[in-house]
Structure 1
Amino acid sequence: MTFSQQMARAFPQSNPLPSALHQALQLLEAQGCLRTRRDGVRYMSLHPEAEFSAMATCAFYLPEPADSALWTASDDPEVNQRLVIFLRTGGDGSWAGLWRDDAGQQRVVHLGSGSGSLLLGVLTDSAEDLLRLLAIGYAELCWPEQFPLTPEEVREQDYEDDDYPPPPRLLREHVQQTLGLTVPPRAAELVQSTESMDAEQSSDPFWNWLKQVRGD
């Protein structure tokens, strides 16, 4: 079974893997972006090793139901199936997932590690916009202070050149040519919320849902 097939089967029927994400994963897998960590865990990079050999920070992983339960602090399957965590966004341990809101809409949400990024809320309102966001080319997507900057500006400001990945050529071409969508220069043009998990209150729907189900 391919990684993209495993990914599709790992999502619950009530919150399935969006077809746009499945299609992108199939493309990346066919072009040699599937990697294996030293501990045997497989993940999908945005780059073939020939283009960027370092371990990718932004990468797709098979979702684990236990990870959702850790965030929701719930043992109710119906609650936990509304949040599927599958995208690593930062070396600090931050993730993104697919959340089904009260109206049944699937949104992409961010879950900061708490020890680094505090970003907690809706990243994009669709899988297509997540692909556009990834195609911009940031090394990490967990730092809201970087969102008004281009990846080139972030690299010049915070990274050595050899530590920063090049733009994800395959994904960018797919978004622009196959999906017919634009790739903006900055994340701030796409990201819906930059809410902190430490905020006392928020208008972000995911922030409020998570606080509610956790009883915080």
Structure 2
Amino acid sequence: MTSAFTTAVRDSLPARLVLPPEWVTTFDWLQAQGHVAELHGGPLAGVHRVSDDASSEVGFHPAEPDFMKFWLGNEDVDDEIAVVVRTGGDGSHAALWLDPGGVQRIVHLGSGSGSTAIGILVENPVDLLRLMAIGYEELCWPENYELTPAEASAAERNGDDEDPDVRRFTPPRSFQAFVRHTFEVSIPERACEIVGDLVDMDDGPGASTDPFAAWLEQNRR
């Protein structure tokens, strides 16, 4: 039976975009395992249980229809992109994007006020699940991609193990097991093993051959 969360995300997508079947399977599992909660103004499905104190800032949510209107100042592209993944507490997201050749891709949009990373994030829907399963609290910081989540957490604590505002790394073991067994894949130790070469939006136009970065520049108003 299709979960309410799956239905909410599917119904939020523009007609030209398709919810990957691997994500449908994942959404149904996340809801059944208690990983969906009303957070940040709507339902969010994360890699940790809702009750887990180590729940991350990373999770799936229904598409935000006005996101690109504010990000680009252009609402004419709403049928080509759907922001459906929260990648950081700063307002960074990942999205399904239909490129000019008609290929559906997974891309990253840094908030600009925090992360400035944009570009093709991973190659396919299962790779995004593998990336999320590594266990980073946030996925929007390329400077952490060569660190394991435990190393990134330790670096953030900077020796202060008593800081209540810094959560210790807790692996999302049940989600890792689900992804590994359901899709018969491995889980990388570090994001750099799976993430593409993201672009820094502050580098300006023409600084990269990334097709999503080029599309953003062409559609900025």
Q: TM-score, normalised by structure 1?
A: 0.90
Output the CA distance in 1 between the equivalents of 2:26 and 2:152: 26
Residue 209 of structure 1 corresponds to 215
Displacement of 1:80 = 1.7
Matches within 5 A, 1:74-89: 74-76=74-76, 79-89=77-87
- 1:45 deviates by 1.9
- The answer as to 2:188 corresponding to 1:187 is no
Residue 94 of structure 1 aligns with an amino acid whose one-letter code is S
Shift in Å at residue 170 of structure 1?
2.7
CA contact (8 A) 1:106 1:125 kept: no
Match in the other structure for 1:41 = 42
Structure 2, gaps ≥5 residues long:
none
After superposition, residues 40-189 of structure 1 pair within 5 angstroms as 41-50=42-51, 52-53=52-53, 56-76=56-76, 79-159=77-157, 163-189=167-193
Residue identity matched to 2:210: D
Superposition deviation, residue 55 in structure 1:
5.5
Q: Which runs of 5+ in 1 are unaligned?
A: none
Task: Tell me the TM-score normalized by structure 2.
Answer: 0.88
The 3-state SS of whatever aligns with 1:65 is coil
Q: What letter corresponds to residue 67 of structure 1 in structure 2? A: F
In structure 2, C-alpha distance between the alignment counterparts of 1:165 and 1:58, rounded to whole Å: 14
1:68-97 deviation line (CA, Å, top 9, x unaligned): 322342232xx2221110111111111111
1:10 to 1, 12, 23: 12
Deviations 1:88-139 (A, max 9, x none): 1111111111111122222111111111111011111211110010011100
Moved over 6 A (4+): none
8 Å contact from structure 1 (residues 28, 170) kept in 2: no
- Percent of matched pairs sharing the same residue: 38
- Contact 1:123–1:192 under 8 Å retained in 2: yes
Q: Are 1:27 and 2:29 an aligned pair? A: yes
Q: Which amino acid aligns with 1:118?
A: T
Deviation at 1:54, TM superposition (A): 5.4
Q: 1:113/1:126 Cα in 2 relative to 1: closer, same or farther (>3 Å)?
A: same
SS at match of 1:148: coil
